[in-house]
């Protein structure tokens, strides 16, 4: 590691940058995807879905092939493609027979869509706190937030590893709740030998451009439950027109959408799925190399992986000990960024702190659903309801985006050198 440069002035103060070149952009799309997409375009059949009961209700040949391959890969009974994982989350909440006013417990340390999918059905998101080391829902906080209105838990496998799903499923079974997992960031992560996302009632993955594998936009729902799968397929494709001919009699939440993914995306998805394991291993190798390079830097905690699990590092999550460092995170990020480290972030703005929750204005302007009689109690989104998540976002969490660049060991050496240089100059940052 280049300790030499530690005597240089920080780039922030006009010294030479620790990283003097741009890194290669992460790009999992190659010639296989080009060929796969081209074949679909040449066939002229870019989507075969029809929103009526019949053979094409389930889509065309690539949709079906991709879904069967996902079922085999993830070891689930049903894989159901959707046009985004946001759509997938909406379908998942609806398929579980959530009623308006029901409460669903969710993590605040996530992308907003995890919680918005709950509100979408006029159910009420209740934010439970997270574990300080894995950043996933803390089962004790979940249990403390259960009320007679609680119907489900949405666990988020944030940054690339599974939530404590056994503990959450145990709580759910004691309180007769359903569990959804948002595994957008952890495709291929293992939880005690099974894939994260496959251990709850319904889970799934994002195929958005920024994720490990992608089809531009897209998502995959997974479940072992036949009835949930039927209802997911109905919500995906104009349920209200299909329930009659199909013979579905439970009309609850059978409000249909067009959440269908096209043939081009599924053809690309087939190639992407073949690459998933290698792409994940690439992130894991970079993370392990970073772990070695950053080990021992005072006041910096490298990622903790839950016992019996693997981490696929969508984000390489670190925590700063601000008291020990005596420098704010903002200042450290500023210094590292000036050295050329791209992709550092403060984690998620806690979802409950977003204006929609702070002002309780979602549907229309008068506070629906919180202000309506369907909401049985006053749910608080005040600062302080999730102190661990709030503190991490406000001052100590430091994430490094791992699906931004394809990093070689030489690249990681430069990043590590930048960290060591900044740490050697902390006094100057005070
Ligand atoms: C990306 C992401 C989503 C949304 O997925 P899209 O496919 O972009 O709609 C939801 N939750 C989490 C945690 C995500 O990272």
Tell me the C-alpha distance between 226 and 202, whole Å.
11
Q: Please report the pLDDT score of residue 352 as a whole number.
A: 98
Quick check: 308 pLDDT over 90?
Answer: yes
Q: Tell me which residue has its CA closest to atom 8 in ligand 1.
A: 208
Residue 124 belongs to a domain: yes
What value does the mean pLDDT take over residues 67-96? 98
Q: Please report the pLDDT score of residue 347 as a whole number.
A: 87
Q: Please report the pLDDT score of residue 5 as a whole number.
A: 56
What value does the mean pLDDT take over residues 118-141? 98
The secondary element (H helix, E strand) that includes residue 90 is helix 85-95
Confidence tier at 8 by pLDDT (50, 70, 90): confident
Which CATH number goes with the domain that contains 59? 3.40.640.10
Residue 414 belongs to a domain: no
Report which ligand 1 atom has the smallest distance to the Cα of 113. Answer: 10
The pick from 81, 82, 111, 155 for probing ligand 1's pocket by mutation, whose C-beta has the most ligand atoms within 8 angstroms, reads: 111
Residue 111 C-alpha to ligand 1 middle, in angstroms?
A: 7
Quick check: 1 pLDDT over 70?
Answer: no
The verdict on the CB of residue 85 being under 6 Å from ligand 1 is: yes
Residue 18 belongs to a domain: no
Q: Give per-residue pLDDT as tens, 205-228.
A: 999 999 999 999 999 999 999 999
Q: Give per-residue pLDDT as tens, 309-323.
A: 999 999 999 999 999
Residue 263 C-alpha to ligand 1 middle, in angstroms?
A: 21
Report which ligand 1 atom has the smallest distance to the Cα of 85. Answer: 7
- Model-level pTM greater than 0.85? yes
Tell me the C-alpha distance between 133 and 19, whole Å.
29
Residue 380 belongs to a domain: no
Residue 151 C-alpha to ligand 1 middle, in angstroms?
A: 22
Total domains in the chain come to 1
Residue 356 belongs to a domain: no
The terminus-to-terminus CA distance of the chain in angstroms comes to: 25
The pick from 82, 118, 125, 185 for probing ligand 1's pocket by mutation, whose C-beta has the most ligand atoms within 8 angstroms, reads: 185
Average pLDDT, rounded, for the chain = 97
What backbone torsions phi and psi does residue 223 show, to the nearest 5 degrees?
Answer: -160, 155
* Residue whose C-alpha is closest to residue 15's, from 417, 298, 430: 417
Report which ligand 1 atom has the smallest distance to the Cα of 110. Answer: 13
Residue 384 belongs to a domain: no
Report which ligand 1 atom has the smallest distance to the Cα of 206. Answer: 7
Residue 128 belongs to a domain: yes
Quick check: 353 pLDDT over 80?
Answer: yes
Residue 102 C-alpha to ligand 1 middle, in angstroms?
A: 23
Q: Tell me which residue has its CA closest to atom 7 in ligand 1.
A: 85
CA distances for 410 relative to 244, 278, 293, 406, angstroms? 61, 20, 12, 11
The verdict on the CB of residue 136 being under 6 Å from ligand 1 is: no
Q: Please report the pLDDT score of residue 18 as a whole number.
A: 97
Q: Is the peptide bond preceding residue 369 cis, with omega within 30 degrees of 0?
A: yes
Residue 229 belongs to a domain: yes
Q: Give per-residue pLDDT as tens, 227-266.
A: 999 999 999 999 999 999 999 999 999 999 999 999 999 9
The verdict on the CB of residue 83 being under 6 Å from ligand 1 is: no
The verdict on the CB of residue 154 being under 6 Å from ligand 1 is: no
Quick check: 167 pLDDT over 80?
Answer: yes
Whole domain around residue 47: which residue ranges? 31-272
The pick from 184, 197, 314 for probing ligand 1's pocket by mutation, whose C-beta has the most ligand atoms within 8 angstroms, reads: 184
Quick check: 3 pLDDT over 80?
Answer: no
What value does the mean pLDDT take over residues 102-107? 98
Q: Give per-residue pLDDT as tens, 19-42.
A: 999 999 999 999 999 999 999 999
């Amino acid at each position: 590691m280049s300790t030499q440069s530690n005597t240089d002035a920080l780039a922030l103060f006009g010294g030479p940058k620790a990283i003097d070149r741009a890194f290669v952009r992460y790009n999992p799309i190659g010639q296989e995807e080009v060929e796969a997409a081209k074949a679909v375009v040449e066939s002229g059949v870019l989507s075969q879905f029809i929103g009526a009961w019949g053979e094409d209700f389930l889509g065309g040949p690539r949709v079906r092939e991709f879904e069967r391959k996902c079922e085999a890969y993830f070891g689930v009974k049903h894989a159901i493609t959707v046009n985004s994982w946001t759509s997938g989350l909406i379908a998942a909440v609806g398929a579980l027979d959530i009623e308006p006013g029901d409460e669903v417990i969710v993590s605040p340390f996530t992308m907003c869509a995890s919680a918005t999918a709950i509100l979408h059905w006029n159910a009420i998101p209740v934010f439970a706190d997270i574990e300080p080391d894995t950043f996933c829902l803390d089962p004790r906080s979940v249990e403390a937030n259960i009320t007679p209105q609680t119907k489900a838990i949405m666990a988020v496998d944030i940054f690339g590893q599974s939530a404590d799903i056994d503990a959450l499923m145990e709580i759910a079974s004691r309180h007769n709740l359903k569990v959804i997992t948002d595994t957008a960031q952890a495709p291929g992560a293992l939880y005690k030998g099974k894939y994260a996302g496959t251990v709850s009632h319904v889970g799934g993955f994002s195929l958005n451009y920024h994720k490990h594998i992608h089809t531009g936009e897209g998502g995959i729902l997974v479940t072992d439950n036949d009835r949930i799968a039927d209802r997911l397929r109905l919500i995906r494709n104009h349920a209200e027109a299909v329930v009659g001919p199909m013979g579905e009699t439970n009309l609850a939440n059978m409000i249909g959408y067009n959440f269908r993914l096209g043939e081009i995306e599924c053809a690309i998805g087939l190639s992407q799925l073949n690459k998933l394991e290698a792409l994940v291993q690439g992130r894991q190798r970079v993370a392990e190399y970073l772990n070695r390079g950053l080990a021992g830097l005072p006041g910096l905690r490298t990622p903790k992986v839950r016992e019996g699990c693997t981490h696929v590092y969508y984000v390489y999550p670190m925590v700063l000990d601000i008291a020990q460092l005596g420098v704010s995170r903002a200042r450290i990020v500023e210094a590292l960024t000036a050295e050329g480290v791209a992709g550092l972030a403060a984690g998620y703005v806690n979802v409950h702190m977003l204006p929609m929750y702070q002002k309780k204005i979602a549907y229309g302007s008068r506070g629906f659903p919180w202000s309506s009689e369907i909401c049985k109690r006053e749910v608080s989104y005040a600062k302080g309801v999730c102190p661990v998540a709030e503190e991490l976002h406000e001052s100590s969490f430091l994430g490094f985006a791992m699906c931004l660049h394809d990093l070689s060991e030489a690249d990681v050496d430069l990043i590590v050198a930048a960290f060591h240089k900044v740490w050697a100059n902390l006094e100057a940052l005070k």
